[in-house]
Structure 1
């Protein structure tokens, strides 16, 4: 065999030896998982958050041969499941007990676990559903206590492993407490109602506090504006009613925060899931996705989907002990955000969150809050960059390129006027660029991974801006035969840096952290660039015309001078 063939055979052997199968059974034929009940989905582990799914039975006692109705339901859709009954005294045992009967064979199927036919149930496809009903038949040799377990797959790597269900007892057996096998109890599903109509901003500042975007937003008249309100309930003010509305394809949310930075915040989400909305509370520990979703503590939940907007209303107590939620008798900054979802999981907000300008005491007097989607530090970044490259940088290059002849002999502090003005403006440009460059890093506390090419081009602009003054400090004397190399290099780098700065600013206009009116902001910037470019072309043409005119005048003067000399002689 050739060396190439031997290498290929060796590579193939290593690949086979180290092959680790990844199984994904959308058809529900998961008998390999009967023991552990764990899906083999790319090595993913089960969710550690509270399960939005639960099991229920129509009875708590049974006799051998009885048929028990078992219901799997949840507050969100799921694509797959594996349901079994096991001995409650030995929940870690891999042996399934009893047999199931299907109520909908098109959506579910029986599995054979431990050579026991029909001892488990799974889905027949990945079609989304919210409820499964099966009949479990108790065997003649049933243990005294039987507990149901289910693994529920929301989507591929998002699943809850071996969620414990109710325990049923044989007649005559006294129930006693059991230690749960799960560290996260299931959420008791709520039955939210549908709002009869849209919210209204009437009463904002009088009977309720409101955060509106844009100012004056009324969701009753404009469903595409963002609206949040809160009002205390009862004379003792022991609970607060929240209302939230906004245009979104996936979710709208708000957060209570101690500061204007994302992290360590109490978050409340209204998530669209097909044709309904789920409302939950969560916690954000940093610039990450919300954790520990829960509906615990939320009541009077209602929602509405209409006109491309999501609306939800809920109430929660001012104080929630042992829930990890913030007390509402404190002052917080309010964050209002929206974005997309995928398979019921939220994604990063599509716009910069609206942040209230001041802290608000949640149980305090009603007021209309003011907010902004642009942090002041990012506004400063944009303003300084525009000042550097649309004013000082442009004027500095204009002076060096076109105004040297206007001050041929005038000096300022020992140097020609044009040079001093050019150097001062360009040094100011470098200083403004350095300061503006640092501000986003201070705001983000590091590198931004969501800003695209903009920060990379910004780094290039900064480096080239610093190269220019360093190179100018080492320029050769005016009469040096190498001076033309410096002039050409200095001019080329300057032009390239200016073009790169313009491209960076055009990309910066679309950044979510600095929302500017579109498309007007881009149009104004392009218009200014076109005007500057046209002015440079015009001044360049004028400079050449003046040089040609001066050359012709000089030649004419020399001809006249020679003619006069001949006439004299």
Structure 2
């Protein structure tokens, strides 16, 4: 089966050249090689030189450096880029005419044999006067080609109906730059990006975020094709990336992996081999021979986006470890980042994703991404705990001790019963989230972000809080004030740290959260602070109106004997209790809306790609 597959791929590549260019590329001059190979940039080693021969023009395509080429497409064009004239195919054994607008107005190759030079005869249309520029695409080989090469202009005049005259400017003996810019119809890149052509049909594709290959909007992606006893890796990344890499791993974790990386270097791209370190010293230092077993075939930077095609040997020995692309299966790790180090790439701060299972690289079937369920649950649990249950529980304990007086739940005051329920939920959700993230990572986070440290401190404070509450001294005892202050300090410190930790979570690569989540968190903070200010103010007004001097600071309510004598009447609510209950209801509704919104965003992350896919799915329906 492998031999059959290898033959089919090789045959497909060979067959893309012999018949020459198809009519579909007449206007763009852009060959469709490999479903996404980009043309070369910079100067071309080939020249297009026209010269007069009687009433015709002989156009010569050659290389001053003696570099042969395999394929070509040649046209004569006016300054308005209209294709004109007629080529005499009988004048050349290596080409045949192509009818782009009129018969024989273009000419292309017959076979992929090496050609050192091609001479072809061109005649202008009858009655035409004006300049003509010869444009060509010349392919050195299948993966290496230049698009839109130009000749010097030729000016056509006439003395008689069948006697055209030609004038030539002084010829520049150097190669002409590819100044011709093909006219291309602007298409939605998510639908027409040629990189994705052939995925799951002729090549193995994998990208980040998950399922982006199907929607054709990956932040970073890799495509693998078999080329004889070599493997070609195509890599691409979005415009903000300065590097993109693919790792071959025996599991879905980073560490002891062979990496092919493409890096922006000046106006071009360089390819290197590197090897990843695992926990605790995460990194991807380059090999002493960074080109071991690889060859950069093609590369480009278009609108800032990186593209490269790297050919890799089927067997390489990296750090004493054999990577056999034919005999072994591998997980793919795709990553991209915006920074570089002295001898390695920087952190994958733009995107990172591992495949869910290992797969033979010659198997072009769809490769699923590793599930991020545990990461999503971790985020959702922490949001529900610290923006939801903790916020309401803290508010109840601080401002609602003198509300719902005379009523109890299971023998406890209403405020205390609900406070205990909300805080136990906070404790359970936090511990569960903490366990889930360590089950997922099986190590300490490798990101340079204080989220992990702050989250661990928050979890420790949360864990000891109910233990201290269980052993609290009885009200009125000498040690009760100490407990009150410790309980209040630890609880508020944990809550503040948790909110700060959530802000840092937005910047985590694995979280894939949009930046606007920061503003939702800011809205929560504003709501929480305003609610505290209003309730504190209402407590002060209630104290004055009832001519009682009980402070609104709750820790003093249980400070010791006689400290809350003003509230000795336990049968009635404090003044303005209805207002406080109404404010609590509004607070809970808004908090619930914020929590639900953030949980949905976290669960569906990356939400931007999900929204794009949704709009693409419903667009045809709306159009109808």
Which TM-score tier does this pair reach, normalised by the shorter chain?
A: 0.5 to 0.7
Would the aligned equivalents of 1:195 and 1:303 in 2 still touch at CA under 8 Å? no
Q: What pairs up with 1:40-51 in 2 under 5 angstroms?
A: none
Q: Are 1:451 and 2:445 matched, yes or no?
A: no
| Aligned residue in 1 for 2:196 | 201
SS for the counterpart of 2:386 is: helix
Q: Which residue of 1 aligns with 2:245?
A: 253
Give aligned pairs, total.
Answer: 358
Q: What residue number does 1:278 align with?
A: 270
Match of 1:384, SS state, is helix
Shift of 1:233: 4.1
Q: Aligned partners of 1:344 and 1:272: how far apart in 2?
A: 13
Note if 1:478 corresponds to 2:475: yes
- Hey, what does 2:224 align to over in structure 1? 230
Aligned to 1:417: 414
Distance 1:508 1:550 in 2: 46
Distance 1:318 1:532 in 2: 59
Over the aligned positions, Cα root-mean-square deviation in angstroms equals 3.9
1:334 is matched with which residue? Answer: 332
Q: Secondary structure at the match of 1:324?
A: strand
Task: Deviation per CA, 1:63-97: give whole Å up to 9, x if none.
Answer: xxxxxxxxxxxxxxxxxxxxxxxxxxxxxxxxxxx
What runs of 5+ residues in structure 2 fail to find an aligned partner?
1-140, 148-192, 549-565, 567-624
Cα gap change, 1:451/1:233 in structure 2, threshold over 3 Å: closer, same or farther?
closer
1:289 aligns to 2:280 (yes or no): no
Q: TM-score, normalised by structure 1?
A: 0.54
Contact 1:451 1:511 in 2 (8 A): no
- 1:249-275 Cα deviation digits (max 9, x unpaired): 542110122222111223212233334
What's the secondary structure of 1:353's corresponding residue?
A: strand
Q: CA deviation at 1:334?
A: 1.5
The structure-2 alpha-carbon separation of the partners of 1:364 and 1:463, relative to structure 1 and needing over 3 Å to count, comes to: closer
The answer on whether the counterparts of 1:240 and 1:316 sit within 8 Å (CA) in structure 2 is: yes
2:346 matches 1:347: yes
Residue from 294, 300, 320 that aligns with 1:298: 294
Look up the SS of the partner of 2:222 in the other structure. strand
Provide the rounded CA distance (Å) in 2 between the counterparts of 1:272 and 1:259. Answer: 28
Correspondence 1:29-48 to 2 at 5 A: none
**Structure 2: how far apart are the matches of 1:528 and 1:256?**
43
In structure 1, which of residues 480, 495, 498 is the aligned counterpart of residue 495 of structure 2?
498
DSSP-derived class of the 2:424 partner = helix
Match of 1:511 among 508, 524, 534: 508
Secondary structure of the 2:364 match is coil
Q: Is the 8 A contact 2:253 2:354 kept in 1?
A: no
* Residues 464, 497 of structure 1: 8 Å contact kept: yes
More strand by share: 1
**Mapped partners of 1:357, 1:395: distance in 2:** 39
Q: Using the alignment, how far apart are the partners of 1:200 and 1:305 within structure 2?
A: 14
Is the 2:335–2:351 Cα contact (8 Å) retained in structure 1?
yes
* Residue number in structure 2 paired with 1:307: 303
What residue in structure 2 maps to residue 98 of structure 1?
none
